[in-house]
């Protein structure tokens, strides 16, 4: 079988790499081509375009790069038709991937979607488009099945890929020794994996360092972002920046400041007390606030459907609020106990399915039936 896969960001690249490996177990003659990153390429996929060229975050940045996005869309459509795969597998990244779903469907190419776009958060009408163009949807949050039921669109909950990834993680050697840290407890700073997130949030997060000088502050950097975006941290002697060691950092962290997104769930699965932060341009924030359909921005809170981790959004994301909430989770007490109990609840709700294995099995079954 010929598989064409599109992932537009770092987390999609990680989950896509696991899916490629599992599909190879079910189909030893499988051929993979697509858009993603280093991990998907290392797993065996022929990489057409790296996701770092597609990383546009926020309404204003999308508008100002609309011609670039159109160029990549046209390139992707042309490449898809040239290679005519047996199936197109889309991984999250809805702005780009929903357009590709419609195009593939109109050209009689089967479409499967792994990791649903967060339609339940806003622009829920896009579910009609998914129902029309996507043959099979594989979701990673339990509540998504109920969401799609209102559109009479059956989906399969395959488990959450972060569960299998983190369950399989092993710390190699001493993180502190490897990164020349002393024995003080560690506060992890996860400012996101996109330039815009880092630009908006890192400075404010670092403002806490002097108030908590009994801790080591360590920033989780990613290599798809130029190191210049971390210059505020790199030039400080009392802050360490580590690249591509996020799980190693979380496995030893005593607390974390986390940009809203996948990282909040990762921190929860590592059972790290956290404060979730989010800030964007005021234009993007205003537009999103008008459209948003959910009570929370953190995946931890969304899965549990209650407030487990504090969320400091836009104007609430300030030095005083961060210091207050960070201090609360660093000290044993009721708030910390409630957060830890909430983490246990979330783990139970997610279950222990191996998401990539289950998705590969379902895709293989679908292709045999079709």
CATH 3.40.140.10: does it fit domain 175-350? Answer: no
CATH number for 2-159+353-369: choose from 3.40.50.620, 3.40.50.2000, 3.30.70.100, 3.10.110.10: 3.40.50.2000
Which residues lie below 8 Å from residue 72, measured CB to CB, with a gap of 6+? 49, 53, 54, 96
SS3 84: coil
Interior angle at CA 119, CA 345 and CA 17, nearest 5: 70
Give the model's confidence band at 55: pLDDT under 50 very low, under 70 low, under 90 confident, else very high.
low
Q: In the chain, which ranges are E strands?
A: 2-7, 31-36, 46-50, 87-91, 110-114, 136-139, 156-157, 186-190, 216-221, 239-243, 255-259, 274-278, 311-313
Angle between helices 94-106 and 66-83 (to 10 degrees): 40
pLDDT in tens, 298-355: 999 999 999 999 999 888 889 999 999 999 999 888 889 999 999 999 999 999 999 9
Q: For residues 12 and 177, what is the distance between their CA atoms, to the nearest angstrom?
A: 31
Measuring CA to CA, how many Å separate 269 from each of 164, 174, 247, 370? 10, 21, 10, 37
Proportion of the chain above pLDDT 90, given as a percent: 66
Q: For residues 168 and 187, what is the distance between their CA atoms, to the nearest angstrom?
A: 23
SS3 107: coil
- Is it the case that residue 173 has pLDDT exceeding 90? no
Same fold flag, 2-159+353-369 and 175-350: yes
**pLDDT confidence of residue 11:** 84
In the chain, where the domains are located: 2-159+353-369, 175-350
The predicted model gives 151-163 an average pLDDT of 95
- Between strands 110-114 and 87-91, the pairing is parallel
pLDDT in tens, 218-270: 999 988 788 888 988 888 888 999 998 999 999 999 999 999 878 999 999 99
The predicted model gives 88-97 an average pLDDT of 94
Give the model's confidence band at 282: pLDDT under 50 very low, under 70 low, under 90 confident, else very high.
low
């Amino acid at each position: 079988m010929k598989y064409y896969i599109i992932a537009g960001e770092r987390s999609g690249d990680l989950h896509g790499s696991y899916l490629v490996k599992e599909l190879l177990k079910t189909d030893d003659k499988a051929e993979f081509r697509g858009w993603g990153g280093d991990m998907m390429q290392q797993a065996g996929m022929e990489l057409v375009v790296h996701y770092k060229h597609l990383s546009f975050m926020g309404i204003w940045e999308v508008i100002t790069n609309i011609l670039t996005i159109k160029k990549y869309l046209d390139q992707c459509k042309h490449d898809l038709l040239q290679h005519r795969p047996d199936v197109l597998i889309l991984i999250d990244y809805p702005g780009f991937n929903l357009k590709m779903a419609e195009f593939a469907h109109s050209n009689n190419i089967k479409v499967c979607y792994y990791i649903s776009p967060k339609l339940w958060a806003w622009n829920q009408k896009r579910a009609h488009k998914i129902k029309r163009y996507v043959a099979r949807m594989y979701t990673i949050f339990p509540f998504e099945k109920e969401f799609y039921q209102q559109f009479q669109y059956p989906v399969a909950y395959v488990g959450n890929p972060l569960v299998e990834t983190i369950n399989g993680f092993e710390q190699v050697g001493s993180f502190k020794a490897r990164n020349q840290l002393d024995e003080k407890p560690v506060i992890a700073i996860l400012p996101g994996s996109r330039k815009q997130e880092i630009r908006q949030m890192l400075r404010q997060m670092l403002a806490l360092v002097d108030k908590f000088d009994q801790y080591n502050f360590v920033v989780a950097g990613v290599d798809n972002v130029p190191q210049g975006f971390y210059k505020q941290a790199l030039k400080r002697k009392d802050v360490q920046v580590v690249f591509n060691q996020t799980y190693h950092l979380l496995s030893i962290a005593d607390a974390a400041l986390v940009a809203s997104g996948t990282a909040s769930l990762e921190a929860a699965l590592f059972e790290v007390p956290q404060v979730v932060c989010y800030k964007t341009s005021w234009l993007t924030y205003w537009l999103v606030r008008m459209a948003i359909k959910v009570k929370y921005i953190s995946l931890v809170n969304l899965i549990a459907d209650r407030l487990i981790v504090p969320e400091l959004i836009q104007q609430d994301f300030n030095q005083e609020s961060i210091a207050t909430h960070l201090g609360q989770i660093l000290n044993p007490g009721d708030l910390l106990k409630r957060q830890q109990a909430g983490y246990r609840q979330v783990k139970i709700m997610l279950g222990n399915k191996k998401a990539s294995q289950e998705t590969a099995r379902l895709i293989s079954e679908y292709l045999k039936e079709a």
